[in-house]
Structure 1
Amino acid sequence: MLALTNSAVGLYFLITLLFKGSHNIGFALLVATGIIFAIYHVVKKQPVDFIPQDKWITTSFVFYVLVFLLSLLVNGGKMSELDNPSRALLVLPLILLFIKYPPRLTVLLVCIPIGAVIAGIVALIHRFVLHYIRAFEHQMQIQAGDIAMSLGMFSFAIALYFAYKKQTKLTALCFIASLCGILASLLSTARGGWVGVPFILGMIFWVYRKQLSKKVVGIVSTVLVVLIAVAVMIPQTRITQRLQQMERDISVYVDKNNAGTSLGARFEMWKSAVLMAKEKPLLGWGAEGSNQQRKEQAKQKLVHPVVGNFTHTHNQYLDDLSKRGILGLFALFGVLFVPLGYFWKNMASQHATIKLTALLGSIHIISVMFYCLSQGFLAHNSGTIFYFLVTIIFYGTLKQQIKQA
């Protein structure tokens, strides 16, 4: 069971960006194992060794799904709207599974950097061999680019952990893996994944400020900045083009009120969501209702007509607010901040492995919070699986490290 559990955990990180739908494989294997184990546990009437934090996380995840169900009952809609949030329920048996068969930190230290390297290789093949306009073009490139950036940031934290342990070769390998993950995100041209990088890097350096010399921090920072700058300047990566396009989009929206651009459409969708929230603040309009309301707003010329073509707001917070109201936004904050609080307080630990695992969990959640600013990250299967599954994996690993310490 321990080998099966850790193989599935490792498999998820290794192949999550390998091809379209590959993220479902490790997830399905883990969920099936967790559900079977939970049923066995109940049948055998074995005691459950839950800590208070297990109950808090379980409650936040269940409440998140119940708000979707309540919105569906009140506002109407399709049962398929429960498909994505149901992932939050499917990962809950893993809390029980990981009590007895926890993920090993060594599995994460190996598989996360290799997964970042694989993501980088896939992105390079897409862009320069298959000549896609952007990497992960057929895998929902915004989602894939964000996940690749997370793999890069995880690998960077692991690199500094090995630097603290004075394991030079592993530090170098994980640093290269981090660059591969970052490169994959840059080649996807998913700009939303780049916004939180300075904050995440600053947090990682801050956590290891007492363990690493200023010389090491300076060298690593310089190399990272130089390599990213080189990648930006290479025309074939289209990074500079995307940044210039972003500047033009903002300019034409502000100066000419033109919403016919990527960013302009987002600004109008955010405006639309705020207008909807003002009319139905408590439980929102529901998924179907918000779609119809966007079209109605466009007819009344309250927003640009382009808004009627979208089914979500490209901002997770405003999307939840418009569809499920203040209650939905509160539920979203619950699944983010409840586990984040546990990770955050353990980052101050004097145990190196506890500090690293807590840092990985914090990077994961805060990164997703940044992704949600410009994308409905949890409105897609890949994002929902990535957030809830990886949160529980890091949570189970952290509990094991604390138990061992």
Structure 2
Amino acid sequence: MGALVLLLASMCLVWKRPRLNLQRRDYLLLGTLLLYFGIFTANMLYHGDPARELDMPLRALLAMPVLLLLIAYPPRPAAWWSGLAIGAISGAALASWQFLVLEMYRPQAATSNAIHYGNVSMLLGMLALCGLGWAREQSHRLAWTLLLVAGGLAGILGSVISGSRSGWLVLPICGCLFAVYYSKGRGTRYLAALLGALLAAFVLAYTLPNSRVPQRVAVAVNDIKQFQDSDNVTTSIGQRMEMWRTAWALSSEHLWLGMGRNGYLAAKQEMADEGKMDKIIKDYTNAHNDYLDALVKRGIIGALALLALFLVPLTLFARSVRHSAAPAQPYALAGVILCSCYMIFGLTTSSLTLNIGIIMLVFPMVILWAMLRRQERTA
């Protein structure tokens, strides 16, 4: 709903025509979004895939006018940071209610399954923690700090309750990024203290009574062992490994342009009929890995477009962390965290094949970039 409101609001640019003062960096980000949409759409048309496939890359295209709108009229920082924290807290409250009251084994939302629910919860929590530098400069800094820390912890809690292991993989990466960023200029002792606190949080999450973490980790280890020992693909991880193996094998036959969605599904059916692939995974429409899914359906060109969607914004935000003025750096850090999380999520699930997945990447990306640019102009 929020993305739709922003898109409709961007129509005002047609008659208001504000001065945007776009820089080369802005054009690079816009070009990356357009490139992803263009390659995805051209490949879809080339392979004759169903028109509904256009729904996903279209989000990247629609984020472009939203970026222009927000560069002209940036949102208030307080609205952004409070929205992240409240969203993470609300998500964790819903997951807790489903888990404790409804006794759902893996809580989820109506618009996503447990995996994507847990990933979004973790993402909101990590983004909320990026605002601590902004909170320190506010008149009510204690209240803002407590709200953002609560949002960060709630995001982690929601992910833990969901049992989504792919979200847990981002914790050590984000923890190290936070430790390095927040210890900047404070010496190695401060960095060591932050890393120690991060390690203590991991140990606590693993050892708490009734924690889902050791249970889910044990299941993962057992699934991997069964797949290695007997090629068991009836488990969650076994199915993923079979999907990855199949996608990799099929991608070598259509290296540059891929097979398209229809070709991929038809080839899987043929392999299942010939006994070259377990039939348990033949009805899955994606490879449960963003990189392999892009490679098998859209070839090397599509995989490069996907990498550009991650790496170009990541590079732009990372440079701003190093070179921008202090007020802009929380938004730059959040951009780095956003891109890093999605690159890790994509290793074990196809995040960009669902509406919530692509929306939670491109729209926060353009919001953060617009707010970063605003802070650079006013610093």
Class of the TM-score when normalised by the shorter of the 2 chains: over 0.9
Task: Say whether residues 1:278 and 2:252 are aligned partners.
Answer: yes
Secondary structure at the residue paired with 1:333?
helix
Which range is displaced more, 354-363 or 131-140? 131-140
Report Cα offsets for 1:33-83 as digits up to 9, x if no partner: 11x223325xx6x66532212221222111211222222222112100001
Would the alpha carbon gap of residues 303 and 164 (structure 1) be closer, same or farther in structure 2, given more than 3 Å must change? farther
1:115 to 72, 87, 99: 87
User: Alpha-carbon deviation of 1:216?
Assistant: 6.0
Which residue of 1 is the match for residue 36 of structure 2? 64
The one-letter code of the counterpart of 1:365 is C
Contact map agreement 1:164 1:212 (CA 8 A) in 2: no
Q: Measured at CA, do residues 123 and 362 of structure 1 come closer, stay the same or move farther in structure 2, by a change above 3 Å?
A: same
1:255 to 1:137, Cα distance in 2 relative to 1, 3 A: farther
CA contact (8 A) 2:320 2:332 kept: yes
In structure 2, what residue type is equivalent to 1:294?
Answer: K
Are 2:7 and 1:31 aligned? yes
Within the candidate set 156, 167, 180, 1:193 is matched to: 167
In the other structure, the counterpart of 2:63 is: 91
In structure 2, the partner of 1:243 is: 217
Cα-to-partner distance string for 1:12-43 (whole Å, 9 max, x where unaligned): xxxxxxxxxxxxx1111111111x223325xx
Equivalent AA in structure 2 for residue 94 of structure 1? V
Mapped contact 1:271–1:303 kept (Cα < 8 A): no
Deviations 1:124-149 (A, max 9, x none): 11111222111216431111111111
Paired amino acid for 2:6:
L
User: Which residue among 297, 300, 304 is the counterpart of 1:323?
Assistant: 297
Gaps spanning 5+ residues in structure 2: where? none
How many angstroms apart in 1 are the aligned matches of 2:65 and 2:324?
Answer: 30
| Counterpart position of 2:121 | 148
CA–CA distance in structure 2, aligned partners of residues 168 and 95 of structure 1: 32
**Distance in 1, Cα, partners of 2:364 & 2:70:** 13
Q: Say if 1:219 and 1:125 are closer, same or farther in 2 by CA, change over 3 A.
A: farther
Which has the larger displacement, 340-349 or 152-161?
152-161
- Describe the SS at the equivalent of 1:309: coil
Q: Aligned partners of 2:142, 2:20: CA distance in 1, in Å?
A: 42
Task: Output the CA distance in 1 between the equivalents of 2:145 and 2:189.
Answer: 15
- AA matched with 1:116: A
Whether 2:53 is the aligned partner of 1:81: answer yes
TM-score, normalised with respect to structure 2: 0.92
Q: Which amino acid aligns with 2:344?
A: F
| Cα distance in 1, alignment partners of residues 207 and 99 from structure 2 | 16
Aligned partner of 2:132: which letter?
Answer: A
Q: Distance in 2 between matches of 1:222 and 1:180?
A: 21
CA distance in structure 2 between the aligned counterparts of 1:33 and 1:289, rounded to whole angstroms:
39
- Tell whether 2:346 aligns with 1:372: yes
| Aligned ranges 1:384-403 → 2 under 5 Å | 384-403=358-377
Out of 44, 52, 62, the position equivalent to 2:24 is 52
Aligned to 1:303: 277
Task: Give TM-score, length-normalised by structure 1.
Answer: 0.87
The superposition leaves residues 80-105 of structure 1 with CA deviations (integer Å, 9 ceiling, x where unpaired) of: 00011101111111122112201232
Report the counterpart of residue 77 of structure 2 in structure 1.
105
Matches of 2:347 and 2:97 in 1, distance apart? 29
Question: Deviations for 1:285-326, whole angstroms, at most 9, x for unmatched residues?
Answer: 101111111121222333322221211000000000000001
- What's the CA shift for 1:222? 5.2
Question: C-alpha distance in 1, partners of 2:276/2:105?
Answer: 34
2:149 aligned partner: 175
Corresponding residue of 1:10: none
Question: What does 1:14-29 correspond to in 2, within 5 Å?
Answer: 25-29=1-5
Distance 1:122 1:213 in 2: 40
**Residue of structure 2 equivalent to 1:356:** 330
- 5+ residue gaps, structure 1, are 1-24
**Cα distance in 1 for residues equivalent to 2:329 and 2:197:** 25
1:158 equivalent to 2:131? Answer yes
Structure 1 counterpart of 2:234, from 254, 260, 271: 260
Asked whether the equivalents of residues 71 and 371 of structure 2 are also in contact (C-alpha less than 8 Å), the reply is: no
SS in 2 for 1:271: helix
Aligned equivalents of 2:324, 2:179: Cα separation in 1: 16
1:398, 1:339 → 2: CA distance? Answer: 12
**TM-aligned CA deviation for residue 226 of structure 1:** 4.3
Query: Closer, same or farther in 2 for the Cα pair 1:108/1:56, shift >3 Å?
Result: same
CA contact (8 A) 1:113 1:178 kept: yes
| Cα distance in 2, alignment partners of residues 48 and 181 from structure 1 | 35
Range with bigger deviation, 103-112 or 70-79:
103-112
Q: Which amino acid aligns with 2:91?
A: A
